[in-house]
Structure formats: structure tokens, C-alpha cells
């Protein structure tokens, strides 16, 4: 029966129509829009008396039309991947990269921006408008505007190569992940795995007309096995399959091997930085961030490692001692660590992840999340039903304040085939003022890969998944709550990459607050919130093995930074050697030789975090420090919430992130709050 749509539920936001996206027509439509962008900029530059309004805003309008067309296509490639959409996405990305390079190296356009900057009326522009002009001039220089023609051509080819290699890397990881599965007929082989996870494995088998249970390398399934399964051989099998994805030893073997792509990508980035006059790609990357230099970042990461590793070694020893005590384990392998860690956690705190799930059904968590932002920022969220979607799992919502709709978002929570792993927020549309003072409202894509519902029951989230949801929603708030009306610095645009995680990590804190958990949680059967005794156990267990988690992230961040500082194409196997050096310096758990994490490290090779993975820890310092102000005034103190909204969330990239943080806190950030929050002394 068709749902009756009430008038009050009709969307007030301009959502794209996913049903209209035909892969056969994407490239022709894209080329038409690209031609309009080229022609529009060219014709405008031929006019006299160029200004912010008739040049910069005009360029913004042209590029926004391109972004609105391409964002849904790019999103489909990530969440509903197939051969047709992958092909047009790959080809389209090359054409968009070419266009962006042309714009970045357009000397006449650069001269026009400089003319605006030097004009008498520049000082009368609004601060966000000034920032757009200054950022553009900076980006022109970083894109090689000052280079001779032959160097510009080399730069263009390198950018195209980097784009293609990044896409190939991502596709190989996805294909390799999906190339592995295992049918298990005897449930005794899966002993220890929680009932909810077993039900999902059984449902996955039924969906493919198979008997028994189907295991995959999607994160919900992988984690259930590696953390809970008593079958050590099976844990090892999944651990090695997951850690050898996109390698010659892993699922799909040579067909999806990223081993050759990684050095080619690193070398292209090195050449790009060299042409632009930087010593290495890390220095180029840092030129647009809060951090001052790669050396400062490496020092920051090593300081955290120095303060965390002794405690991490102690935590690992406790796990080893526990495994020896209960199972007489003399040697703990990497696929044993998470398993015995969870056993020890349950023994110490008597808290079961599977039992906790029953208190976090998705509908209750969502209403609780929306209550948190209502108390903090006076926001209301309402589901709408008249928007076209790419899958039945997807929900759509609108956010309003003072009765006025200000943004919309898509929510795609569950793991499935042909969907990229991980969790992320992406722009669908950005807030900007259009012609005739019309306002385009922001729209966000919020994507996760949680365990889905079993049968007709609501999906149940682990507490860790609740944290992930709050994290991604924090990114969404940064995008959707902006009050900036010029697209290049609206929402997350123009924000320093190492400050981009501040709002997301800030939101995670509410998953630990008793006052918030009272309405975030509600038992699947009774509806009762998480009882005090369970909350106390949850909070007591919060920093269990937190130092091990810290050094694991520092391992990734230090590897990323050193790789982009030190990479030398003449050194054989340098990537693997650097990975091992970093592990020897900061890690406490070392995987076997065939385990090639770098071959599936999508964050830095295809996800925008190249020489920027440190941003998670950098921004965690900011978020922990900022949250301390809420702890002092009250976690739902409206005045503090309004101040955070006004200083951080609404300003986008219109002001430097360091200045916004200082405005909110009244001082520079301190590392102490992060260490205290993680229980590291």
C-alpha cells in the first residue's frame, strides 16, 4: 500500500532525485555542465569592472551546479557500487580533475582575484567573503599559477594520475573485501559469537540461498568473530583475510593487489610537491592546516606515544597474563588480543557487549541523539518520506530551529554488499545564497556500516556503534548548522583539515554521560533506560586498554606522516620498512609479515587524509579541551552550547580554526584534557 504523505511532511529542502540518475546519461550531462562552467568563467573574465559579486559569486554558482550534479553520483559509487556507476564515476572524475586544474591555473582568473584583493572596496566585504578571496589566491599559488607552461602541464598530468590511482586503490579494497566469504554449517564452530551477530550471519546465508551461516569481511561480521569467537583457527583465518586485502596473498590475490599502486601514488604526490617548491608532500599538505610543519606534527605524535606506550605495554601484559591464567596460553598471537581483551573486560567489569546491545535499538538511539542536539542547540529533527533514495534502508530527515527548516540529511546505517566500508559524512548540497536572495539549504549524506535488523525487529547497536553514529552526526552538524552563505567557506568547506574532527569527537562525549544515556538508551523489550549499575560498569570500562587504542592510532598517524616526508622511489620496499620502523617505535602488537595494512589504508591513499591522519589526534586534543568547558558549566548548559554553536559550528571555514577555538575557550588548546579523558597518566 502506498504511504499517504501528509502536507506537513513534504520536504522544504531541495533533495536530488536518485531515481533520475541513469549511468548511461551521466557523462553526457556532466560534460554539458563542465562546458557551462568553462564558458561561464571565460565570458565573465571578458567583462570590465570585475567584483566579488559579478565574478566570485558567479564562479561559485557555476561550480555549485557541478557539485550538486556530481555529489549524488559520487555517493552512489560509494554506497551502491556496480560496474556501470563505477565506470562513469572513474571517467567523470578525470574530467572534473582536468576542469579543476584548468581553473586553478587560469592566470586571468588569478589576476582578477588579485584585482579584487587590491581594490578599495575589499575592506568593505564581509569577513567570509574576504576569506574566500584570500583562500582562492593561496590555492592558486598552491596549484602552480606561478609556474611556466611546461611545469603546469606536468602538474595537470600528476593530478590526473593521483585521482585515477586513488580511485583504483579504493575499488581494489572494495573488491577484495567482497571476494572473501565463508559458509559455516556447524554452529559449534561459531561458539562465543553473540546471538544477534549469529542471527545476522544466518540471515546473510539465507539471502544467498545457502544453509548455515555466512561470514564476510564487512566490519560487523569481522569484529564479531575477532572479538568473540572461541574458535582460534577461525579468528586467525579472518584476521589474515582482512589484513591481506588488496595484496597478492589476500582475497582476489593479484587481481586486486594495491602493492604497485601505493608507490606510484606516493611518487606522484612527491613530484607534485617538488614542482610546487615543497620539500615533500607532507610539507605541501601542512601548508593549509593548523599545524605549522611536519616536524611539529611528528613531535606531537611522539610526545603522545612517549606518554602512552608504557601504559599500553602494561595493558598488553595484563591480557597475556589473563590468557595464560584461563587457557594456559604461552604465546598470544595478534588474532588473540581482541578476544582475550574482551574476556578480561567482561571479567573485570562484568559487562557484555551483546547484553548492552539490547539497550540500544536504533529508533531509541536516534530519538536520543536528536534530544541531545535539541538540549544543546535548540534543534528539532523530523523524518520525511517523500524523497527518492538509493536503498530501502535509507531514511531522510530535516532539521529545524525556531520552527524554520535549516537543513536536511540522508541516514544510511547498515552494512551491505556493494557498499564501501567504514563510516563518513559527505556533502550533498552546501548552504549558499543564490540569485534573488534565495537561500540554498545544506544537505548531508551520513553513512555507517552497522549490523542491520534481524527479521522484523529493530537493529541493535553496540555502544561503540552508538559512538560512531554520534561522531558522524557531529560532522553533519558542522556542515548543516553553518550560517555562512558563501559556499567555499560554508560548513566544513575551508576548515583546516586538522580541525575538521573537532565537532565529531565533541559529540562522542555524550555517549558516556549519565544524563544523556537516560534518553539515548531504552531496552528493546521494556523500554527502560540503561540502569545505573550498568552505566557505572560502562563508565568504569571506558578507559579499559585506552593506551593500546591510543598507540594504535599513533601508529597509523606516524606511518602516514613519515611516509609522506621520507618517501624515496629509489628505495625498494620502503613502505613496508617504514611501517615496521613505526611499529617498533610506538606499537605494542605486531602482526605477521604477510599482514599488509597499508594496502587497504584507504584514509590516506584514497580518502583525503594523506599526510593528515594525525588530524584525528590533533582534533581530539581540541575536542577534549572544548568539552572540559561543558563539564565545568554542565553538559547541557544552554549558554555554553550556544557559544559552541556560534564559535565553532556556525562559522565554517570563514575564520581560521585556531582563532575560533581561542574565541570559544579564551586560550590555546592543552594536551592534558585528552590524556585525562583517556585515563593516561
CATH of the domain at 110: 1.10.1370.40
Helical H runs in 288-431?
294-327, 334-349, 353-357, 362-377
Q: How confident is the model at residue 308 (pLDDT cuts 50, 70, 90)?
A: very high
Query: How much of the chain, in percent, has pLDDT values that exceed 90?
Result: 92
Q: So what's the pLDDT on residue 414?
A: 97
63-95 pLDDT, tens per residue? 999 999 999 999 999 999 999 999 999 999 999
Residues in the chain: 681
Residue 626 has pLDDT above 60, yes or no: yes
Q: So what's the pLDDT on residue 12?
A: 64
Residue 151 lies in a domain: yes
Within the chain, what is the greatest distance between any pair of CA atoms?
Answer: 82
- Domain identity same for 247 and 303: no
Task: Provide the CATH number for the domain around residue 332.
Answer: 1.10.1370.10
- Domain identity same for 155 and 45: yes
Q: Cα–Cα distance between 297 and 614 in angstroms, integer?
A: 7
Spell out the long-range contacts of 43-46 with Cβ–Cβ below 8 A and sequence spacing 24 or more. Answer: 45/108, 45/109, 45/112
Q: Cα–Cα distance between 329 and 324 in angstroms, integer?
A: 4
- Domain identity same for 272 and 313: yes
Output the average pLDDT for the chain.
Answer: 94
> End-to-end alpha-carbon separation of the chain, Å?
60
**Mean pLDDT to the nearest integer, 160-186:** 96
Q: So what's the pLDDT on residue 227?
A: 97
- Domain identity same for 287 and 168: no
Q: Quick one: cell of 553?
A: 592510532
- Domain identity same for 159 and 222: no
Residue 459 lies in a domain: no
- By annotation, the residues acting in catalysis are 472
Residue 584 lies in a domain: yes
- Domain identity same for 217 and 336: no
- Domain identity same for 212 and 64: no
**Mean pLDDT to the nearest integer, 315-321:** 98
For the chain, what is the radius of gyration of the CA atoms?
25
- Domain identity same for 148 and 205: no
Its domain, for residue 595, covers 261-351+545-613
Residue 9 has pLDDT above 60, yes or no: no
Q: Angle 269-270-273 (CA atoms, 0-180°, nearest 5)?
A: 85
**Mean pLDDT to the nearest integer, 253-281:** 97
- Domain identity same for 55 and 122: yes
Residue 317 lies in a domain: yes
Q: Are 633 and 469 in contact (CB under 8 A)?
A: no
Q: How confident is the model at residue 623 (pLDDT cuts 50, 70, 90)?
A: very high
**Mean pLDDT to the nearest integer, 539-567:** 96
Residue 50 lies in a domain: yes
- Domain identity same for 42 and 103: yes
Q: Cα–Cα distance between 315 and 272 in angstroms, integer?
A: 42
Residue 471 lies in a domain: no
| Cα dihedral 4→8→14→18 (10° resolution) | -20
Q: So what's the pLDDT on residue 438?
A: 87
Domain boundary among 175, 199, 227: 175
Q: So what's the pLDDT on residue 353?
A: 81
Residue 164 has pLDDT above 50, yes or no: yes
How many structural domains is the chain composed of? 3
**Mean pLDDT to the nearest integer, 506-511:** 97
Residue 665 has pLDDT above 90, yes or no: yes
Domain boundary among 256, 274, 304: 256
Residue 417 lies in a domain: no
Q: So what's the pLDDT on residue 681?
A: 75
- Domain identity same for 231 and 322: no
Q: How confident is the model at residue 671 (pLDDT cuts 50, 70, 90)?
A: confident
This prediction has a pTM of: 0.90
- Domain identity same for 22 and 164: yes
Amino acid at each position: 500500500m502506498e504511504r499517504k504523505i501528509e502536507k506537513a511532511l513534504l520536504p522544504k529542502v531541495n533533495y536530488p532525485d536518485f531515481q533520475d540518475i541513469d549511468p548511461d546519461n551521466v557523462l553526457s550531462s556532466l560534460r554539458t555542465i563542465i562546458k557551462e562552467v568553462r564558458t561561464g568563467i571565460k565570458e565573465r573574465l571578458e567583462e570590465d569592472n570585475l567584483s566579488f559579486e559579478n565574478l566570485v559569486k558567479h564562479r561559485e554558482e557555476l561550480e555549485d551546479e557541478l557539485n550538486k550534479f556530481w555529489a549524488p553520483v559520487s555517493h552512489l559509487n560509494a554506497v551502491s557500487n556496480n560496474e556501470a556507476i563505477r565506470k562513469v564515476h572513474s571517467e567523470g572524475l578525470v574530467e572534473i580533475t582536468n576542469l579543476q586544474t584548468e581553473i586553478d591555473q587560469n592566470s586571468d582568473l588569478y589576476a582578477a582575484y588579485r584585482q579584487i584583493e587590491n581594490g578599495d572596496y575589499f575592506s568593505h566585504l564581509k569577513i567570509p567573503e574576504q576569506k574566500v578571496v584570500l583562500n582562492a589566491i593561496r590555492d592558486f599559488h598552491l596549484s602552480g599559477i606561478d609556474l611556466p607552461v611546461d611545469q603546469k602541464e606536468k602538474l595537470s598530468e600528476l593530478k590526473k594520475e593521483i585521482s585515477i590511482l586513488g580511485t583504483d586503490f579504493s575499488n581494489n579494497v572494495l573488491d577484495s573485501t567482497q571476494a572473501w566469504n565463508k559458509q559455516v554449517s556447524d554452529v559449534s564452530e561459531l561458539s562465543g559469537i553473540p546471538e544477534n551477530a549469529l542471527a545476522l550471519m544466518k540471515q546473510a546465508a539465507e539471502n544467498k540461498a545457502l544453509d548455515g551461516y555466512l561470514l564476510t569481511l564487512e566490519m560487523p561480521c569481522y569484529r564479531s568473530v575477532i572479538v568473540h569467537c572461541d574458535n582460534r583457527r577461525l579468528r586467525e583465518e579472518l584476521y589474515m583475510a582482512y589484513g591481506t586485502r588488496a595484496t597478492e596473498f589476500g582475497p582476489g590475490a593479484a587481481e586486486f593487489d594495491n602493492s604497485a599502486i601505493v608507490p606510484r601514488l606516493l611518487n606522484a604526490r612527491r613530484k607534485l610537491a617538488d614542482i610546487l617548491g615543497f620539500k615533500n608532500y607532507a610539507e605541501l599538505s601542512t601548508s593549509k592546516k593548523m599545524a605549522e610543519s611536519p616536524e611539529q606534527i611528528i613531535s606531537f605524535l611522539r610526545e603522545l606515544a612517549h606518554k602512552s606506550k608504557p601504559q599500553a605495554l602494561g595493558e598488553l601484559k595484563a591480557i597475556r597474563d589473563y590468557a595464560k591464567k584461563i587457557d594456559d596460553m604461552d604465546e598470544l598471537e595478534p588474532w588473540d588480543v581482541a578476544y582475550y581483551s574482551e574476556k578480561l573486560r567482561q571479567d573485570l567489569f562484568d559487562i557484555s557487549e551483546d547484553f548492552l546491545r539490547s539497550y540500544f535499538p536504533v529508533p531509541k538511539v536516534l530519538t536520543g541523539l536528536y534530544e541531545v542536539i535539541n538540549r544543546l542547540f535548540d534543534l528539532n529533527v523530523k523524518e520525511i518520506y517523500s524523497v527518492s533514495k538509493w536503498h530501502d534502508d535509507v531514511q531522510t530527515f530535516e532539521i529545524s530551529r525556531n520552527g524554520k527548516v535549516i537543513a536536511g540529511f540522508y541516514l544510511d546505517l547498515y552494512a551491505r554488499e556493494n557498499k564501501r566500508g567504514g563510516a563518513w559524512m559527505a556533502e550533498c548540497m552546501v548552504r549558499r545564497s543564490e540569485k534573488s536572495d534565495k537561500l540554498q539549504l545544506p544537505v548531508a549524506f551520513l553513512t555507517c556500516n552497522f549490523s542491520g535488523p534481524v527479521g522484523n525487529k529493530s537493529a541493535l547497536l553496540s555502544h561503540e556503534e552508538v559512538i560512531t553514529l554520534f561522531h558522524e552526526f557531529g560532522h553533519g552538524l558542522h556542515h548543516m548548522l553553518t550560517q555562512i552563505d558563501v559556499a567555499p567557506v560554508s560548513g566544513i568547506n575551508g576548515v583546516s583539515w586538522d580541525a575538521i574532527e573537532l565537532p565529531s569527537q565533541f559529540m562522542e562525549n555524550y555517549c558516556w554521560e549519565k544524563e544523556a544515556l537516560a534518553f539515548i538508551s531504552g531496552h528493546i523489550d521494556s523500554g527502560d533506560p540503561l540502569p545505573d549499575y550498568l552505566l557505572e560498569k560502562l563508565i568504569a570500562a571506558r578507559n579499559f586498554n585506552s593506551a593500546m587504542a591510543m598507540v594504535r592510532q599513533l601508529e597509523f598517524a606516524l606511518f602516514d606522516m613519515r611516509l609522506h616526508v621520507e618517501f624515496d622511489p629509489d628505495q625498494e620496499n620502503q613502505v613496508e620498512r617504514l611501517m615496521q620502523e613505526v611499529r617498533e617505535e610506538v606499537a605494542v602488537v605486531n602482526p605477521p609479515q604477510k599482514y599488509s595494512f597499508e594496502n587497504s589504508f584507504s584514509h590516506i591513499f584514497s580518502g583525503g587524509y594523506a599526510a593528515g591522519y594525525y588530524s584525528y589526534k590533533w582534533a581530539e586534543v581540541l575536542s577534549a579541551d572544548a568539552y572540559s568547558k561543558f563539564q565545568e558549566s554542565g553538559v547541557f548548559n544552554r549558554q555554553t552550547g550556544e557559544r559552541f554553536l556560534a564559535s565553532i559550528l556556525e562559522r565554517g571555514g570563514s575564520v581560521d580554526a585556531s582563532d575560533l577555538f581561542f574565541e570559544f575557550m579564551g586560550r590555546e588548546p592543552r594536551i592534558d584534557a585528552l590524556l585525562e579523558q583517556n585515563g593516561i597518566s
